[in-house]
Structure 1
Amino acid sequence: MSLTAVLTAVTLALLAPGTPARPILSTTEAAPFVPANYLGFSGTYADPVADPWRPAPIRTPARPGFTVGPQGFATVQDAVDAAYRAGGTARRWIAVRPGTYTGTVFIPEGSPPLTIYGTGRAEDVKLQFTIDATVTPAQWAAQVNPGGRYAEGDPAWPMFQSCATRTSATAGLCATVVWARSTDLQLKNLTITNTLLDTVDRGTHQALALRTDADRTQLEGLRLISRQDTLLTNADDVARIARVSVRDTYVEGDTDFVFGRAAAVFTGCTFRLVSSRKDSGGVIFAPNTAPGFRYGFLVTRSRIVADDGYVTAPTGRLGRAWDQGASATGYLPGITPNGQLVIRDSYIGAGFDTLAPWAPAATTARPFSASVAEGRDVNDVDFNRLWEYANHGPGSALQPW
């Protein structure tokens, strides 16, 4: 393609409706895609209920109820278990002192509202473990529970058992360092790393750092590091809405490393695509939003960047839909999840394909296509729902020609 053709194509993407490969919302179209709407509904996808959730900044007390580290609990899991057993409906705080804590952390459904936070910089409070989704459930159980840290009667035992007794060939999305199923959870000032990282080839090696399954989850000031599937903001009940608020958080990876079904708002975050394991075609976002629900992921006032490997050869992709469950049938409009995402008012750095920043869908390889018709329905199930609005930077549609 000639330089003139490239400039023309990118210029066309300056304004709504953009192109089928890089759609842009108009000001009117973008108006509903704000945090209040993404976080404003609970209940089922079939019958959502107005339920405004306006999460305030996470507060940490001078005297937490539980402490992990010197003169406290040896592990975060021990503190979570103690807080669960303490019970009640009042919020409980778990302070984690600087150090490296190796092992998984499972936060079960039925826990009281918990705030788990690092007392130092996030870089100094490290929760880490090495686990690959390609192992069998039996191998997963042996790796996660070598000394019997999860035992019958423990609060997290049902979570452990649900993965250890899987009949699937692999551990799948059980391969996570921190797994939370509790409502009203808050995590702050922690680094969570799946240390599998670059020890494997560039193939399919899901290795989650953090998985959240429940409603009203707050993540603030975290560092989440892995390669494939770093952060899963999930809705464990596929029929019900789960809301997640993520603020001032750094997320690193190379393949679908922010994904899930939740209604999630990312504010002031940094997403960094890295080439150390997979040096081309990396993808950041992979929502699998319920097809009839308007609100999946919202990224606002954030930074989307890539490392030098991608800057040199700009093949990075901002995201793709995850057509979960449709490998045998192909995408079924109105039935298969149809990932919804708006990136707005954010910086997009170099390293991304500026003409075609969205990849074909995961699971089905459904080609990316957005409607650019006059009066289009931005939730049309026959098209993708991955959008941009008012972004800037060298990787954005708005180029400084």
Structure 2
Amino acid sequence: MSLALTAVASYGGPVSAATVVTVATDGSGNFTTVQAAVNAAPAGGSGYEIDVKPGTYRGTVSIPSAKTHVTLKGVGSGRDQVVIVENHPASTYGTQGSATVAVSANDFRAENLTFANDYDEAKNGSSQAVALDLNADRAVLNNVRVLGNQDTLLLWTAGTGTVGRSYIRKSYVEGDVDFIFGRGTAVFDRTEIHSLSRGSSTNNGYVTAAATTDTNPYGLLFYRSTLTSDAQAKSVYLGRPWHPSGDAHAVGQVLFRECTLGAHIRDDPWTDMSGFSWRSARFSEYANTGAGAAVNANRPQLSASQAPSYTPNAYLAGSDGWNPVF
């Protein structure tokens, strides 16, 4: 059913005594569903890799907090070959309940696959519909796609005093309204952030809705990433401040650093939300380029003296010195 080995993960760092199992829709693996493979993972494990063969795996997946050090790895020729998808809207299941994949376990890894929520807003009405809920610490996504519309990627933590860190490398995240949101800390490194068009000439959505706790200096960092869209020029916001349940201690922190911004980004890229001013949040840019880049009174810039304190390593180090960057 499984085998033990010593390997070096392609996202960097040694993996020792890992158990590897295979999921395949045609029955050629150890399991036919991803959830069944997760259920077989030991609690508190030191390494459990689920190799997923090409195919579409419809259904939700939950990785509970006890199942640490789980890796989901697509073994197809590209990240579009393995798709884990469901179509649950928050209007029926609640925001977190709508997630196709919900991760509550620390030290989660995903590589070379797609997480998607294909709820059809045009047919069924607007609703949040989460593709991936990362509610954990020290998560790494390498060469993955995260696809949805509203609220595609949730970065969450167990409580306002808990920090959850994610490193998202050379990946692709797609959506329209608040599609990267939450109070988690995350670095998007050399990742494509694609805003879908909602058919508007003025407002095609918001890339982020950060709810970073005010005691946490680090929220969302987009580093050397590319923002793309087919939407109308100057019609997409970089973000707005989310205060869950009106929490005054949720003071979003977002930085777009050395990114290439497409023409879809507005000249006034930050906006208010639910009565809270964006100017009270911690929103900034630094050394961005592209048709959507600009410096004006509505676009706070990080200073050169501040820049060394806002690097990928600074965001992710925490108290344990975690450094997944490669």
- TM-score category of the 2 structures, normalised to the smaller one: 0.7 to 0.9
1:391 and 2:288 correspond: yes
- 1:324 correspondence with 2:281: no
Shift of 1:237: 2.5
Match of residue 6 from structure 2: none
With over 3 angstroms needed to count, the CA separation of the structure-2 counterparts of 1:90 and 1:213, relative to structure 1, is: same
**Alpha-carbon distance, 1:305 to partner:** 1.5
What do residues 89-117 of structure 1 show as CA deviations (whole Å, max 9, x unaligned)?
32111100000000000001111311111
Structure 1 residue 238: deviation in Å? 2.4
The code of the aligned residue for 1:108 comes to P
The question of whether the paired residues in 2 share the 8 Å contact of 1:392 and 1:398 is answered with no
Q: Distance in 1 between matches of 2:194 and 2:140?
A: 21
Matched, 1:71 2:28: yes
Contact 2:187 2:220 (8 Å CA) reproduced: yes
Aligned match of 1:358: 270
Determine the C-alpha separation between the residues in 1 that align with 2:215 and 2:20.
42
Q: 1:142-191: per-residue Cα shift (whole Å, max 9, x none)?
A: xxxxxxxxxxxxxxxxxxxxxxxxxxxxx232111000000100011111
**1:131/1:207 contact within 8 Å kept:** yes
For the Cα contact (< 8 Å) 1:64–1:95, is it kept in 2? no
**Residues 285-300 of structure 1 mapped to structure 2, 5 A cutoff:** 285-300=208-223
- Alignment of 1:182 with 2:102, yes or no, is no
The structure 2 residue matched to 1:221, chosen from 127, 137, 143, is 143
After the TM superposition, list the runs of 4 or more consecutive aligned residues in structure 1 that deviate by more than 6 angstroms.
Answer: 58-61
2:87 is equivalent to residue 130 of structure 1: yes
Corresponding residue for residue 48 of structure 1: none
Query: In the aligned structure 1, how far is the partner of 2:153 from the partner of 2:200?
Result: 18
**For residues 336-355 of structure 1, what are the structure 2 equivalents within 5 Å?**
336-354=249-267
Aligned residues: 281
Q: What is aligned with 1:270? A: 192
**1:323 shift after superposition:** 1.4
For 1:252, the equivalent position in structure 2 comes to 174
Tell me how far apart the structure 2 counterparts of residues 359 and 283 of structure 1 sit (CA, whole Å). 9
State, as a whole percentage, how many aligned pairs show the same letter.
33
The verdict on how the C-alpha distance between 1:310 and 1:235 changes in structure 2, with shifts beyond 3 A counting, is same
Checking the alignment, whether the CA contact within 8 Å between 1:300 and 1:343 is kept in structure 2 is yes
Letter in 1 for 2:162: R
Distance 1:242-1:265 versus aligned 2 partners, 3 A rule: same
CA distance in 1, matches of 2:275, 2:111: 36
* 1:297 to 1:176, Cα distance in 2 relative to 1, 3 A: same
Q: Does 1:196 align with 2:119?
A: yes
Between the aligned partners of 1:215 and 1:200, the Cα distance in structure 2 is 36
- Gaps (5+ residues) in structure 2? 1-9, 297-326
Give TM-score scaled by structure 2 length: 0.81
What CA RMSD, in Å, does the superposition of the two structures yield over aligned residues?
Answer: 2.3
Which structure has the larger Rg?
1
CA distance in 1 between counterparts of 2:197 and 2:166 reads 28
Give the secondary-structure state (helix, strand or coil) at the position aligned to 2:39: helix
Which amino acid is the alignment partner of residue 238 of structure 2? L
* Aligned mates of 2:199, 2:69 — CA distance in 1: 38
| Greater per-residue strand proportion | 2
Matched, 1:111 2:8: no
CA offsets 1:242-265 (integer angstroms, 9 cap, x no match)? 111111110110100001111111
Q: Structure 1 residues 96, 56: closer, same or farther in 2, change over 3 A? A: closer
Does residue 234 (structure 1) correspond to residue 159 (structure 2)? The answer is no
Q: Paired residue for 2:52?
A: 96
> TM-score scaled to structure 1, two decimals?
0.66
Determine the C-alpha separation between the residues in 1 that align with 2:262 and 2:122. Answer: 27
Q: Give the match for residue 40 of structure 2.
A: 82
Residues in 2 aligned to 1:91 and 1:319: alpha-carbon distance in whole angstroms: 36
Cα deviation for residue 220 of structure 1 reads 1.1
- 1:368 is matched with 278
The SS at the match of 1:90 is coil
Partner letter of residue 57 of structure 1? G
Distance in 1 (CA, whole Å) between partners of 2:196 and 2:143 is: 20
Q: CA deviation at 1:200?
A: 4.2
Evaluate the alpha carbon distance shift between residue 241 and residue 392 of structure 1 in structure 2; reply closer, same or farther with a 3 A threshold.
same
Shift of 1:207: 0.2
